[in-house]
Structure 1
């Protein structure tokens, strides 16, 4: 059984090593989440430790999915700090460990973030993901709208330039108003 829970800043710090392992394994498994492979553990730990301040400040929310014995996935919501953008958030770092893929865990994490965003008054979510990646299929099947692609936006973990696709989704009150 897999449980999903939201992490506090202290929990991000306490679980930084396990989060780093998930990040490194995801990158080494080919996921384009902003890092090059191979991702060394120390750099991954440092990256996660840096996120704790963002969580503490309320600019980032992080959820993790755990099985009985290991962390299998994570997702985050990044909240803007400008007054005119408090109605939106960016979905970031949706990662599922290669051993956890194909079980609906990505969908569970995505739904968790969408519901949490709506519960905080967010009405618009956006994200970008590598074009033609399995993540694109997930977002489309979950009702996200494809806005377009940006060529040569980021590199794959192996260093190849690839386009990214930008998506958005209305949630909460915006979803109800649109129907």
Structure 2
């Protein structure tokens, strides 16, 4: 299986459609990528379009995971605009399409994000995970460590508030 993770600094209509379908499918399959199911493409489109605008402004880039040439997932690398934090970035929306999950592609994607970050001269990455998902153990394998949490910051349903865990990694 040929895989690649490459940085994307411009998004055309075809790629936008594939990213939107991915984000929708991952969310509806229960993925912890900013929303809770059910979602529609129309509902997510404004959020993706905001990401794309920041990509085109050079404030973010997309780490695109391809398997056999097809879009299999993506993550967003949000770059700091502060001159004091140019060595840091935040990783957002790490996701692999549901039909590709369970094959180690999440690890391929995160390793690719790290490669892209290093190539840009970044030294530290930050990300958050939703409490109760166990994702902190996944990221620990890449060197991420929890440095804080916001109790009850994420309301996934009435009466179901989750902590937001803040993780960081030195590259």
In 2: Cα distance, 1:83 partner to 1:103 partner: 39
Gap regions ≥5 residues in structure 2? none
Q: 2:9: which partner in 1? A: 8
User: CA 1:40 to 1:55, structure 2 compared with 1: closer, same or farther past 3 Å?
Assistant: same
How many Å apart are 1:114 and its aligned residue?
A: 1.1
Contact 2:130–2:165 under 8 Å retained in 1: yes
Give aligned pairs, total.
169
Q: Could you list the per-position Cα deviations for residues 132-179 of structure 1 after superposition, in whole angstroms to 9, with x for gaps in the alignment?
A: 3242221011111121322111133x56321121110111xxxxxxxx
In 1: Cα distance, 2:27 partner to 2:166 partner: 20
More strand per residue: 1 or 2?
2
More helix per residue: 1 or 2?
1
Q: Could you list the per-position Cα deviations for residues 73-105 of structure 1 after superposition, in whole angstroms to 9, with x for gaps in the alignment?
A: 111110111111111000111011222222111
In 2: Cα distance, 1:73 partner to 1:66 partner: 7
Matches within 5 A, 1:64-103: 64-68=64-68, 70-103=70-103
Q: Could you list the per-position Cα deviations for residues 104-147 of structure 1 after superposition, in whole angstroms to 9, with x for gaps in the alignment?
A: 11111111111211221111111100123242221011111121
Contact 2:9–2:58 under 8 Å retained in 1: no
How many Å apart are 1:71 and its aligned residue?
A: 2.5
**In structure 2, the residue corresponding to 1:45 is in which secondary structure?**
helix
In 2: Cα distance, 1:131 partner to 1:71 partner: 28
Q: 2:163: which partner in 1? A: 163
Q: Could you list the per-position Cα deviations for residues 31-73 of structure 1 after superposition, in whole angstroms to 9, with x for gaps in the alignment?
A: 2222232111112233222222211221111022223474321
Gap regions ≥5 residues in structure 1? 172-179
When the two structures are superposed, what TM-score results if normalisation uses the length of structure 1?
Answer: 0.85
In 1: Cα distance, 2:86 partner to 2:4 partner: 29
